[in-house]
């Protein structure tokens, strides 16, 4: 008996057995290749499954196996290396294989539609159609005319048939009779060429030379280069080499909408088909980009996190830009790290992987220091620009307006007066993070979350930034009816108001997720800023991501203290990265620049170390601290999350997993919890977690398997969801 083992998109972490579809011979079944799609019955529905392997028997009770309904692909649409990557990811992240396979396909293929190439839609005669005599079918002159038109060329673009007055209905009727079929005309593939590049400086040239030596087969490289050191130019020249050899390059970047400049630089450099993949695409655009990547027509594929799973005909290089960026880790569902998957993919595809950042993750620095990755460094800025020094502004006892101290205000004045641009960083949107009653102390909180409501004054709203709930602004305290309601803390909306009052003659651009809603709003903003007129850019994290604004010569961090006191083990790393990245926006054109950091804790060791040594040194100190505490990358973590409307049920579930797993834990592994998650109640669901730590990856993996097995063995509880997170980003 031949049994087909399929990955089926369900939350279950296993494969499902089916008999071959009716009409498929055992030899055909044995010859199926991994990744082909089949339509299969599942419960009372039909779903799309992905063939993984054939077996000669099944553990399912005899007679319970159902045949698959239909084979959808004769050949897999996805190459063997990517299939292997999916299997690896399902196993490493302990995620249901069907959901991982689904992540490889665009929606229309996940929905079971036929695969269609990209060329122009066309119709062609089938063998039966070709066999008909001229003039047939006699009873339908329109259909006969269509067949006559098609007879000589055999295939015609749909457009041309329409011009000859053959309607789509006529063609469909012919198709239903099996006389014609729809197809596509392949367009010419464009040959990729590269326009003029910059002359590399000696540091850049050394990196490019070393990478070219390693261009065959797998190797992983960390490019640690200060902000503005010309990392992007290094990527561009390596990609050019890749294209010259007729191979494709895959480039991952943290967020496309936010960095239209990066895309612009690629478009300006290569005369080639560049496929762009990100979450803002419509289905048709996504399909096009996916198919162009798959067939090799796209020479360069640029995308965010999920693009790491794009099929490629012939990959020659994988680049992960800003590799430290937290957005590479998916935070729900299939919780993979695109950076780590990219490295694995390079191994399977046998091509080099380049991770680049001015502030590499401690993980990657560790991998470079132990020799697992080749380590390349760029110590200097490329365009003769100096890295600005960071100065700390002690704001204790200072009168602040919109969060801005007098010293920073003065610096802003002289910056604008000098015709230059300033960038202010404040990682809090809205007007103020707290609304409070001055008389009784009442604080506006979200009904559904353990969180305060943020004041959005312009819209007259209080908003929860965790669940999205909105409430109109109170006029009086709901508790004591006092009208003395005050806000504390400053958000971007308030700072913007203050700055507009101070610098009315200049443009103030606020950049946060409230102001940057349209798809192209960031691109429009960048265009404005590129004109070079003096202005102030005020924004959240959005402003720190790899932008290149040459006219900025003043950078201010309004509230460093909000970053200082993170309970998470990655808090210091994130803070150092953020400060370095924000500071790195200054002085990119070589003009003298200043960076001010406002704090009420000017002597805090974290600030002091950011000041006295660069990120590279700080990161190495953080690595030593992780060694001492056994935290990643010197230890390995797995989190089991639950989320449930009933707090007790969630904790009880984790406790039961803990009790069951406790004795079987691999050597050296530890369980901590169950503990409430950071913001335990969110949208009226209680979140708890159980943390597993282990000295090595192998034990962490064994521990994760154990937790999953125990969680799956426990009886399902209504409304309780659980998920596993391997290599979690944040713990607290
Ligand atoms: P990074 O990606 O490291 O932040 P970029 O690649 O954006 O740095 O380079 C910063 C600036 O330096 C850009 O304006 C870029 O055009 C310029 N640049 C990079 N390499 C060179 C070079 N070899 N010669 C002259 N200018 C360069
Ligand atoms: Zn009150
Ligand atoms: Zn809420």
The 10s digit of each residue's pLDDT in 402-428 is 999 999 999 999 999 999 999 999 999
Residue 253 has pLDDT above 60, yes or no: yes
Q: Is 387 in the pocket of ligand 1 (CB under 6 A)?
A: no
Query: Can you spell out the DSSP letters for 242-264?
Result: HHHTT-EEEEE-S-TTT-HHHHH
Give the ligand whose atoms come closest to the C-alpha of residue 441.
Answer: 2
Rounded to 5°, the CA angle 335-339-344 comes to 95
pLDDT at 592: 87
How many CB atoms lie under 10 A from the CB of residue 520? 12
Q: Is 198 in the pocket of ligand 1 (CB under 6 A)?
A: yes
Residue 244 has pLDDT above 60, yes or no: yes
Give the ligand whose atoms come closest to the C-alpha of residue 435.
Answer: 2
Q: Is 227 in the pocket of ligand 1 (CB under 6 A)?
A: yes
126-162 per-residue burial string, b: 16 or more CB within 10 A, e: under 16: eeebeebeeeeeeeeeebbbbbeebeeeeebbbeebe
- Distance in Å, CA 460 to ligand 3 centroid: 17
pLDDT at 732: 62
Q: Is 382 in the pocket of ligand 1 (CB under 6 A)?
A: yes
- Distance in Å, CA 68 to ligand 2 centroid: 66
pLDDT at 527: 85
Residue 345 has pLDDT above 90, yes or no: yes
Answer for the pair 94, 704: CB distance below 8 angstroms, yes or no: yes
- Distance in Å, CA 443 to ligand 2 centroid: 9
pLDDT at 187: 53
Residue 622 has pLDDT above 90, yes or no: yes
Alpha carbons 605 and 600: distance in angstroms, whole number:
13
Pocket test for ligand 1, best of 383, 387, 591, 593 (most atoms within 8 A of CB): 383
The percent of residues in the chain predicted with pLDDT above 90, rounded, is 67
What tens digit of pLDDT does each residue of 632-676 get? 999 999 999 999 999 899 899 999 999 999 889 998 999 998 999
pLDDT at 261: 78
pLDDT at 136: 82
In the structure, what pLDDT confidence band is assigned to residue 186 with cuts at 50, 70 and 90? low
Q: Is 233 in the pocket of ligand 1 (CB under 6 A)?
A: yes
Residue 49 has pLDDT above 90, yes or no: yes
Answer for the pair 378, 226: CB distance below 8 angstroms, yes or no: yes
The percent of residues in the chain predicted with pLDDT above 70, rounded, is 98
SS3 680: strand
Rounded to the nearest 5°, which phi and psi values hold at 130? -65, -30
pLDDT at 188: 47
Residue 142 has pLDDT above 70, yes or no: yes
Mean pLDDT across the chain: 91
pLDDT at 519: 66
In the structure, what pLDDT confidence band is assigned to residue 189 with cuts at 50, 70 and 90? low
Count of alpha carbons within 13 angstroms of residue 415, beta-carbon side: 33
Residue 546 has pLDDT above 70, yes or no: no
Nearby residues of 671 by Cβ (< 8 Å), 6 or more positions away? 658, 661, 662, 665, 690, 691, 692
Pocket test for ligand 1, best of 232, 236, 237, 577 (most atoms within 8 A of CB): 232
Nearby residues of 31 by Cβ (< 8 Å), 6 or more positions away? none
Pocket test for ligand 1, best of 356, 382, 548 (most atoms within 8 A of CB): 382
Closest approach atom of ligand 1 to CA 200:
23
Residue 325 has pLDDT above 70, yes or no: yes
Q: Is 230 in the pocket of ligand 1 (CB under 6 A)?
A: yes
Q: Is 225 in the pocket of ligand 1 (CB under 6 A)?
A: yes
Cα of 551 vs its chain's centroid, Å? 29
Closest approach atom of ligand 1 to CA 199:
23
Closest approach atom of ligand 1 to CA 227:
4
* Residue whose CA lies nearest to ligand 1 atom number 15: 230
Give the ligand whose atoms come closest to the C-alpha of residue 483.
Answer: 2
pLDDT at 436: 96
- Distance in Å, CA 227 to ligand 1 centroid: 9
* Residue whose CA lies nearest to ligand 1 atom number 14: 383
Give the ligand whose atoms come closest to the C-alpha of residue 470.
Answer: 3
- Distance in Å, CA 229 to ligand 1 centroid: 6
- Distance in Å, CA 434 to ligand 2 centroid: 14
What tens digit of pLDDT does each residue of 67-121 get? 999 999 988 999 999 999 999 999 999 999 999 999 999 999 999 998 887 777 7
What tens digit of pLDDT does each residue of 259-299 get? 677 888 899 999 888 999 988 788 888 998 999 999 888 99
**CA torsion through residues 159, 165, 169, 174, sign:** negative
Alpha carbons 336 and 233: distance in angstroms, whole number:
29
Tokens of 228: 């503005």
Residue 329 has pLDDT above 50, yes or no: yes
């Amino acid at each position: 008996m031949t049994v087909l083992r399929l990955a089926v998109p369900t939350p279950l972490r296993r494969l499902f057995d089916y008999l071959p579809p009716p009409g498929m011979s055992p030899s055909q079944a044995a010859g199926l290749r991994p990744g082909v799609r089949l339509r299969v019955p599942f419960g009372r529905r039909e779903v799309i499954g992905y063939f993984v392997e054939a077996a000669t028997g099944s553990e399912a009770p005899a007679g319970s196996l159902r045949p698959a309904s239909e084979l959808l692909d004769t050949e897999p649409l996805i190459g063997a290396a990517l299939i292997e990557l999916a299997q690896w990811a399902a196993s490493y992240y302990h995620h249901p294989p069907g959901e991982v396979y689904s992540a490889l396909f665009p929606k229309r293929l996940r929905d079971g539609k036929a695969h269609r190439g990209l060329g122009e839609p066309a119709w062609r005669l089938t063998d039966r159609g070709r066999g008909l005599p001229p003039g047939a079918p006699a009873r339908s002159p329109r259909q006969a005319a269509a067949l006559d038109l098609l007879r000589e060329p055999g295939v015609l673009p749909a457009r041309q048939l329409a011009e000859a007055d053959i309607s789509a209905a006529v063609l469909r009727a012919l198709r239903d009779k099996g006389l014609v079929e729809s197809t596509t005309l392949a367009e010419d593939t464009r040959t990729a060429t590269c326009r003029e590049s910059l002359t590399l400086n000696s540091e850049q040239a050394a990196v490019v030379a070393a990478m070219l030596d390693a261009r065959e087969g797998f190797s992983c490289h960390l490019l640690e280069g200060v902000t503005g050191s010309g990392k992007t130019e290094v990527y561009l020249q390596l990609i050019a080499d890749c294209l010259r050899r007729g191979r494709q390059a895959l480039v991952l970047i943290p967020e496309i909408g936010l960095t239209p400049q990066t895309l612009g630089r690629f478009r300006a450099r290569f005369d080639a088909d560049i496929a762009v993949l990100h979450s803002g695409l419509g289905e048709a655009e996504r399909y096009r980009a996916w198919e162009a990547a798959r067939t090799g027509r796209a020479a360069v594929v640029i995308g965010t996190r999920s693009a790491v799973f794009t099929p490629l005909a012939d990959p020659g290089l994988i680049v992960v830009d800003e590799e430290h960026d937290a957005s590479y880790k998916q935070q729900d569902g299939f919780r993979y790290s695109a950076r780590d998957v990219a490295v694995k993919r390079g191994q399977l595809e046998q091509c080099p992987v380049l991770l680049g950042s001015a502030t590499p993750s401690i993980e990657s620095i560790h991998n470079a220091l132990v020799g697992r990755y080749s380590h390349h460094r760029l110590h200097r800025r490329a365009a003769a620009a100096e890295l600005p020094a960071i100065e700390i502004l002690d704001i204790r006892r200072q009168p602040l307006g919109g969060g801005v101290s007098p010293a920073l205000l003065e610096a802003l004045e002289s910056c604008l007066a000098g015709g230059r641009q300033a960038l202010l960083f404040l990682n809090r949107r809205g007007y103020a993070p707290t609304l409070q009653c001055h008389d009784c102390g009442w604080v506006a909180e979200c009904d559904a979350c353990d969180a305060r409501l943020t004041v959005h004054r312009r819209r007259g709203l209080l908003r929860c930034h965790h669940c999205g709930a909105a409430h109109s602004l109170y006029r009086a305290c709901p508790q004591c009816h006092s009208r003395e309601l005050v806000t504390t803390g400053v958000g971007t909306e308030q700072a913007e108001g203050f700055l507009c009052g101070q610098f009315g003659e200049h443009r103030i651009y606020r950049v946060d997720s409230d102001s940057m809603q349209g798809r192209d709003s960031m691109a429009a903003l960048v265009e404005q800023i590129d004109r070079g007129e003096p202005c102030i850019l005020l924004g959240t994290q959005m402003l720190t991501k790899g932008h290149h604004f040459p006219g900025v010569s003043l950078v201010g961090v309004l509230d460093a203290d909000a970053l200082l006191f993170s309970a998470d083990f990655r808090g210091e790393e994130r803070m150092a990265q953020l400060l370095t990245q924000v500071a790195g926006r200054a002085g990119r054109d070589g003009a003298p620049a200043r960076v001010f950091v406002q704090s009420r804790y000017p002597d805090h060791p974290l600030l002091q170390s950011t000041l006295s040594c660069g990120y590279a040194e700080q990161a190495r100190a953080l690595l030593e601290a992780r060694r001492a505490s056994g935290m990643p990358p010197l230890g390995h973590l797995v989190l089991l999350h639950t989320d449930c409307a009933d707090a007790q049920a969630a904790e009880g579930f984790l406790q039961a997993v803990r009790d069951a797993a406790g004795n079987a834990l691999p050597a050296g592994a530890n369980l901590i919890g169950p503990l409430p998650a950071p913001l335990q109640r969110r949208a009226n669901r209680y979140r708890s977690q159980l943390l597993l730590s282990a000295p090595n990856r192998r034990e962490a993996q064994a521990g994760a398997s154990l937790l999953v097995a125990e969680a799956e063995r426990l009886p399902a509880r209504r409304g309780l969801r659980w998920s596993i997170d391997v290599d979690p980003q944040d713990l607290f």
